[in-house]
Structure 1
């Protein structure tokens, strides 16, 4: 059975091009480039304290070599010019570890600075999803510290597995003759493992940081986009720095720092766009599930829309067993971004009053 060309085009537009276009519009409306520059500064500010904590933690656990292996492994993915800029500082941290211990006041301050990078990502994600962070300040900071500590422990565990992998492979190759093609496949699998680890980290940030409830599979499209785009951008930016750009001519001794900041800025914008893509797909899914306003589709035809308050232009979403309107959507200009109207969800109470989305979760549990 052959699918008509028009149907193929409509499918591509509906499930690929339209979400990407919506994500681009949201990205620009939410000042994605400016947020990317802000996050780039936070990353540059947080990366060295994070490595400092990682070195201190590895010393406590007796895994000093794992940190060095991780640094070398991570730098294989970075553009060469960016690695040359930040590696001397990281090498100084690795080979001159801090004295005192992991729970000193200076180390606690280091953790605090490192968690500030997580906070900058949270701000960008909340804006991408069009929500405000109502979590207490202490909870946000505690979650940020948890990401830093958990990330450090995860790095050490993954590096132990990566280091143990060649040992197991060598023992296996000594017992069983291994073809060269299979050995090449194994070497490629190591890089694939790095890409999967990056994807898992991005998925976790999309899933846990924003103040929005979502299913575990909702962040997957943005995760795939961000992972593939970042790996491609790192390769292209490395080629650009080596063959075209020369920041040293313009910025002198700061050329390497500027190059690193540009790379981190591109990284942050890719990360933000992935979140905007997730939000656009969630919005499109909600819109597709809403019946038409004329009542010709689904249960909406059974409802008298005159029950909805006149001050609202609404589309019915949810009804109770007695066909009373419980939830509708309307366009409200008084939202997070005053430059363009957003769609905001409200519940209709039995008395006809309208309550904002603070009661959505409670009403959903009841209804």
Structure 2
């Protein structure tokens, strides 16, 4: 039993990795990383305009950092400050056309994810360009709404903890557990986002059970890679190599790592579906051969 599981896992991971390299997965990871970086600030501009409908008018580094708390500190700190700078500047006069432009450029990042996932799942996208673009814009709006909900949950959590501390003495010993829920909420929203992206963004039809293995692997490896990358940055000074571009280069490299892991998650799902269908085909052929033998023996 264990031997079969090991052999099956070996074949699945081997197929996923070989297909990743054979189809230039590293190049697609670079494309997703750069497109994601270019779409990052337009998305936050669109999110800021979207959030105003919910009364979110002011932005501080503390509030923004709460949204990027899963990133390594060396990336989250400069990134949160730049986001605040962009949003503060943009608040002076938000035009409708600029919001539409921000949504369009943010959707380019979704299109990059679509291209990478189509390659990973080994499918050809025959949907119209107009449909794909409107779907990407819908995902941008959905992402902005999800980020608004996430921001309320993550930003209001410290206030609720403070209120509970002021009015309940016994709650103090459980503060560590309560604060852990902030990360739990972020992981749940991340899981739902990956589920939506893997299910509906690429072409073809997939069941939820088909995409779960790659999603779980993606979240786990993202977490481990973030810890490893943060530890690596403490031992290596990027500013000595890239000078004023250090923060940008760190962000690009980190996004590249996340993109490569994201694509590999799709590759693993595709490999599992391939070997499962392959096994079902072999069993079907074996049953057909057995039936033919029975018929032949019956005639004899």
RMSD of Structure 2 on Structure 1 (CA): 2.4
Question: In the alignment, which of 277, 280, 284 is matched to residue 289 of structure 1?
Answer: 280
Q: CA deviation at 1:206?
A: 0.8
Question: What TM-score does the superposition give when structure 1 sets the normalisation length?
Answer: 0.73
2:197 matches 1:208: no
Question: In the alignment, which of 219, 227, 231 is matched to residue 239 of structure 1?
Answer: 231
Q: Distance in 2 between matches of 1:184 and 1:51?
A: 30
| Residue correspondence of structure 1 range 138-177 to structure 2 within 5 A | 138-166=130-158, 177=169
Q: CA deviation at 1:191?
A: 1.2
The equivalent residue for 1:365 is none
Q: CA deviation at 1:95?
A: 2.3
Instruction: Give the direction of change, closer, same or farther, for the CA distance of 1:159–1:250 in structure 2 (3 Å limit).
Output: closer
Q: Distance in 2 between matches of 1:220 and 1:68?
A: 34
The equivalent residue for 1:254 is 245
The count of residues paired between Structure 1 and Structure 2 equals 293
Q: CA deviation at 1:128?
A: 0.6
Q: Distance in 2 between matches of 1:146 and 1:67?
A: 28
Contact 2:35 / 2:109 at 8 angstroms: preserved in 1?
yes
Contact 1:36 / 1:268 at 8 angstroms: preserved in 2?
yes
Using the TM superposition, name which of 248-257 and 92-101 deviates more. 92-101
Question: What TM-score does the superposition give when structure 2 sets the normalisation length?
Answer: 0.88
Higher strand fraction (1 or 2): 1
Q: CA deviation at 1:186?
A: 1.1
Using the TM superposition, name which of 137-146 and 155-164 deviates more. 155-164
Contact 2:78 / 2:247 at 8 angstroms: preserved in 1?
yes
Larger radius of gyration: 1
Contact 1:126 / 1:133 at 8 angstroms: preserved in 2?
yes
2:136 matches 1:130: no
The equivalent residue for 2:296 is none
Q: Distance in 1 between matches of 2:80 and 2:61?
A: 12
2:76 matches 1:83: yes
Question: In the alignment, which of 264, 268, 279 is matched to residue 277 of structure 1?
Answer: 268
Using the TM superposition, name which of 157-166 and 33-42 deviates more. 157-166
> Relative contact order (alpha carbons < 8 A, sep ≥ 6): 1 or 2 greater?
2
Higher helix fraction (1 or 2): 2
Instruction: Give the direction of change, closer, same or farther, for the CA distance of 1:211–1:69 in structure 2 (3 Å limit).
Output: farther
Q: Distance in 2 between matches of 1:74 and 1:157?
A: 11
Instruction: Give the direction of change, closer, same or farther, for the CA distance of 1:174–1:139 in structure 2 (3 Å limit).
Output: same
Question: In the alignment, which of 36, 57, 67 is matched to residue 64 of structure 1?
Answer: 57
The equivalent residue for 1:23 is 16
Q: CA deviation at 1:215?
A: 0.7
Q: Cα deviations across residues 304-347 of structure 1 (Å, max 9, x unaligned)?
A: 9xxxxxxxxxxxxxxxxxxxxxxxxxxxxxxxxxxxxxxxxxxx
The equivalent residue for 2:290 is 301
Q: Distance in 1 between matches of 2:92 and 2:158?
A: 33
